[in-house]
Amino acid sequence: MDRKNNPFSRAFRKLGLLLFKPSHGVAKWLIFALVLLLASLAYTGHLEMVQAYLDKPPFAFAVGDYKFTAFMVVNSLLSVVVLFWITSILAGFGNNRIGHMRHLRPSTRILFSKLFQIILYTLAIVMALDVIGVKLTTLTVFGGALGIGLGFGLQKITSNFISGMILLVEKSIELDNLVELADGTTGYVRKTQARFTLLETFDGKEVLIPNEDFIINRVTNLTYSNKRGRVDTLIRVAYGSDLEKARDLILEAANEHPRCIQDPPPSCFLSQFNESSVDFLLYFWVADVTEGRLAPKSEVHFSIWRKFQENNIKIPFPQREFLMRKEEKAAEAQVSAQDSGASLV
């Protein structure tokens, strides 16, 4: 059975999150319930009884020169858990305050929120080690081994984390930006995490992009400095049509569309003369590209079609004309006659 789908593994993971990283709302109720329980035990005199019972020799054990009792273990565990609950409450409070700072850009708020959480949980871990009785000087060797592990095994994770911090500081990618990656993936930035950035594509798919890809690869941000976007379309007109009239009608259709802006104004160019058509290129701009470009493009096409029909301007389709000279017709007739005579013999 897959470990992710194992019900015991899922239950253990949920229990760990509940104990060490609950939401700030849940943490408040957990602390309230624990304080109420301890106060009740102390008021009824059962707390001293529990302590005396857990300090008995059957529940004591030694590790090297250190002696531990069950009460010491329970007390340390409860202290660490409460410490993380308090940290969760402070983190939630800080995130709410930072989230309401509307004068800051969204990326700046996310950056401050991440830094605030990192500082809080780092202090919580240091205090938890002190509560347990672990001296920081004893972690020197472990810290060196951890550094080697970060340099090799966790290299990608560290790279993505640092890349995410760089993106937040530079503000090159922000929430609700419309971006296009080097592989053609296009979507809206919906969430920025320590390891990845969540993109929502036009068809509703949620793609998790490692933060490192935004740093080392080419990324097109379609809404970096503004949300304007250009719509390009090709219109073909049949030979024999009034080309200047056709151009005017194309521009008129673009200018009449409500999403077409006038700075810059629409432009129409005679692109080239094809075998069966004269090609025009129409460029017009929309104020907010995040609302889509296909809808205004389609509506302008319908308007151009109606205007062409009203003004007798034809949209061509591929045609071929074959001209045969008299000599070729005579040679073809002679070959046909010879084939008929041969069949009679």
Instruction: Output the pLDDT for position 280.
Output: 95
In the DSSP assignment, the letter for residue 339 is: H
Q: Which residues pair with 284 in a beta bridge?
A: 231
Instruction: Output the pLDDT for position 128.
Output: 76
CB contact at 8 A, 199 and 187: yes
Specify the 3-state DSSP secondary structure of 218.
coil
Q: What's the CATH number of domain 229-310, 3.30.70.100, 3.40.50.2300, 2.40.10.170, 3.90.340.10?
A: 3.30.70.100
Q: Tell me how far apart the alpha carbons of residues 28 and 86 are, in angstroms, rounded to a whole number.
A: 8
Instruction: Output the pLDDT for position 266.
Output: 94
Instruction: Output the pLDDT for position 255.
Output: 93
- Global pTM reads 0.55
Instruction: Output the pLDDT for position 345.
Output: 47
Instruction: Output the pLDDT for position 342.
Output: 46
- Residue whose C-alpha is closest to residue 107's, from 259, 182, 211: 211
336: phi > 0 → left, psi -120 to 50 → alpha, else beta; which?
A: alpha
Instruction: Output the pLDDT for position 129.
Output: 73
Instruction: Output the pLDDT for position 194.
Output: 76
Instruction: Output the pLDDT for position 15.
Output: 57
Angle, in degrees to the nearest 10, between helices 243-256 and 294-310: 140
Q: How far is CA 335 from the centre of its chain?
A: 71
- Domain boundary assignment for the chain: 7-134, 171-221, 229-310
Instruction: Output the pLDDT for position 157.
Output: 76
In the DSSP assignment, the letter for residue 291 is: G
Specify the 3-state DSSP secondary structure of 314.
coil
Q: Tell me how far apart the alpha carbons of residues 341 and 344 are, in angstroms, rounded to a whole number.
A: 5
**What is the CATH number that goes with domain 171-221?**
2.30.30.60
Mean pLDDT of each 10-residue bin along the chain, 345 residues long: 57 58 64 72 71 70 66 74 78 79 71 79 77 64 63 72 81 87 90 86 90 89 89 92 93 94 92 90 92 92 94 81 61 59 48
Question: Read out DSSP for 85-151?
Answer: HHHHHHHHHHHHHHHT-TTS-HHHHHHHHHHHHHHHHHHHHHHHHHHHT--GGGGHHHHHHHHHHHH
**pLDDT (tens digit per residue) in 292-345:** 889 999 999 999 999 999 999 988 877 666 666 666 555 566 656 555 554 444
Rg (CA), the chain: 37
Angle, in degrees to the nearest 10, between helices 24-44 and 46-54: 90
Count of alpha carbons within 13 Å of 220, Cβ hemisphere only? 10
Helices (H) and strands (E) in the chain — how many of each? 11, 10
Specify the 3-state DSSP secondary structure of 175.
coil
CB contact at 8 A, 286 and 296: yes
Q: Tell me how far apart the alpha carbons of residues 117 and 1 are, in angstroms, rounded to a whole number.
A: 35
Instruction: Output the pLDDT for position 246.
Output: 94
